[in-house]
Structure 1
Amino acid sequence: MGMPRPSRVWDAMLRGNERFVSGDPEHPRQDVERRENIAGGQAPLAAIFGCSDSRLAAEIIFDLGLGDAFVVRNAGQVMSDSVLGSLEYAVAVLHVPLILVLGHDECGAVRAAIDSQADDAVPLPPHISRLIQPIVPAVHRVTRTPLDQAVDTSTVDAGEVGREHLRDTVAELLESSELISAAVAEGSLAIVGANYRLQEGRVVPDIVVGQAVPASE
């Protein structure tokens, strides 16, 4: 029996998110028996690369259990060598059929990237500054401002910057990993970029690469 198709995994995750949104989660595969059964190995359904924001708990918002998701997180879901290596491990060794890149509204890293482009911006600590640099191009595209010019941060649509950054992250993932792009090309892997709405609890797909939806849709 092979791994589930990407479309089946994504459908199951969306159904789990609907249970979470409606306040009727099942909390599956979280008991002692499940813990003991997977102690010797893992076979996650999907890899989730999301923001570290404490309100974005991946297994909870998709109503998943132990061993269901291989989760990679950092502030602002910014691509790095460690993230790329972790996701390649999920694809090459764990054979996940789906990578979900998950952003959200009211993201602190996105806000920091926007504020850093103001004319009177206070310099950020160096590690934070380096972390948010990949988000900065999205700020300038949304505001139609050249990269070497300051931005009027009071008029920036942070939600749109977040969505642009999400698309950039998916594109960078495909461009940076021959392994992952090849898996998408052969149909064994799909990538979904989605945004999580904090107030509503709903995950909203924004970009899909590969066979992540049934052919009949």
Structure 2
Amino acid sequence: MDMPGPSTRRTALRLGLLAGVGAVAAACGTKTDDRTVSEAPSSAAPTEPAVTNPTEALERLKAGGERFASGGVRRPDQDTAYRATLAAGQHPFACILSCVDSRVPPEIVFDQGLGDLFVTRTAGQVVDHAVLGSIQYGVAELKIPLLVVVGHEKCGAVKATVEAVEKNSAPSGTDIDSLVTAIKPAVAKAEEEKATDVLDASVRHNVTNIVADLGTKAILSAAVTAGTLKIVGARYDLDTGEVEWL
């Protein structure tokens, strides 16, 4: 019998090594996008049932916030298969109006995924015509049942307003003045009640003021009256990661 040449032996060795690597990969799960194949979802279905009313929407959002604060995040609805299904349309269950602060991203804070939240962000959650129009669109066209205004601890926009009020600062002549003007009523209320922590009290009053104002707006007020929309306020704690519902 002819003995195999060097080239044949090298080929056999390579095939043997590849087979071994394949066996190990099959046992441990081959890495794809920092996730093993065994961990990849088997379907493109959302990880939670569809929300049908404001109460269910709030419960789902609260559950996500609690998971994030405790470190038990699921990061739902973020796989490639589910992403592809969203190209056909979106059905977010909550609209979030929050601050632009980089430490308070709603999808992460509430442990939600693609297509779950309809998010609008401005410094201090200040509402202008574009923001209001965006929120009204979400409620009217996408039938979103929950609107949450999220303020947060140590908000820079609120802090700047507190300082401007206390120092009786002149307007800066920039668009930042519009933020100060919008937040001033909250600061005035905090100072009127002689709050121990004026900044934090102002953050809370700013949220409740915005919630109250949104409740008077066309489309939103009608939806609230019909029971198809709930508007609530919340405060995010930077230190603990917890969301307090106001």
CA deviations over 1:8-29 (Å, ceiling 9, x no partner): 1111111111111111101111
1:124, distance to aligned residue in structure 2 (A): 3.0
Higher relative contact order (CA 8 A, sep 6+): 1
Quick check: 18-27 or 118-127, which moved more? 118-127
CA deviations over 1:108-127 (Å, ceiling 9, x no partner): 00001111113363643520
Aligned: 1:182 with 2:222 = yes
Q: Which amino acid aligns with 1:68?
A: D
Partner of 1:142: 190
Partner of 2:232: 192
Q: Normalized per residue, which structure has more helix? A: 2
Q: In the alignment, which of 194, 199, 214 is matched to residue 158 of structure 1?
A: 199
Aligned: 1:43 with 2:84 = no
CA distance, structure 2, for counterparts of residue 197 and residue 49 of structure 1: 16
CA distance, structure 2, for counterparts of residue 188 and residue 128 of structure 1: 35
TM-score (norm 1): 0.86
1:67, distance to aligned residue in structure 2 (A): 0.2
Q: Which amino acid aligns with 2:73?
A: P
CA distance, structure 1, for counterparts of residue 190 and residue 93 of structure 2: 35
Please give the secondary structure, in 2, of the residue aligned with 1:38.
Answer: helix
Name stretches of at least 5 consecutive residues in structure 1 with no aligned partner: 146-151, 207-217
Map residues 1-217 of structure 1 onto 2, 5 A cutoff.
Answer: 4-119=52-167, 121=169, 123-144=171-192, 157-175=198-216, 177-206=217-246
Q: Which amino acid aligns with 1:81?
A: H
1:30, distance to aligned residue in structure 2 (A): 0.3
Partner of 1:148: none
Q: Which amino acid aligns with 1:167?
A: T
Q: Which amino acid aligns with 1:80?
A: D
Asked if structure 2 preserves the Cα contact closer than 8 Å seen for 1:79 and 1:173, the reply is: no
Asked if structure 2 preserves the Cα contact closer than 8 Å seen for 1:166 and 1:193, the reply is: yes
CA deviations over 1:71-98 (Å, ceiling 9, x no partner): 0000000111111100100000000000
CA distance, structure 1, for counterparts of residue 168 and residue 181 of structure 2: 17
Asked if structure 1 preserves the Cα contact closer than 8 Å seen for 2:149 and 2:232, the reply is: yes
TM-score (norm 2): 0.76
Name stretches of at least 5 consecutive residues in structure 2 with no aligned partner: 1-49
Q: Which amino acid aligns with 2:198?
A: D
Quick check: 67-76 or 123-132, which moved more? 123-132
Q: CA RMSD in A?
A: 1.9
1:62, distance to aligned residue in structure 2 (A): 0.7
CA distance, structure 2, for counterparts of residue 49 and residue 56 of structure 1: 11
Distance of aligned partners of 1:48 and 1:83 in 2 relative to their CA distance in 1, 3 Å threshold: same
Larger Rg: 2
1:131, distance to aligned residue in structure 2 (A): 1.9
1:170, distance to aligned residue in structure 2 (A): 0.8
Q: Which amino acid aligns with 1:164?
A: H
Asked if structure 1 preserves the Cα contact closer than 8 Å seen for 2:147 and 2:230, the reply is: yes
CA distance, structure 2, for counterparts of residue 60 and residue 3 of structure 1: 19
1:156, distance to aligned residue in structure 2 (A): 5.5
Number of residue pairs matched by the alignment = 197
CA distance, structure 2, for counterparts of residue 54 and residue 3 of structure 1: 28
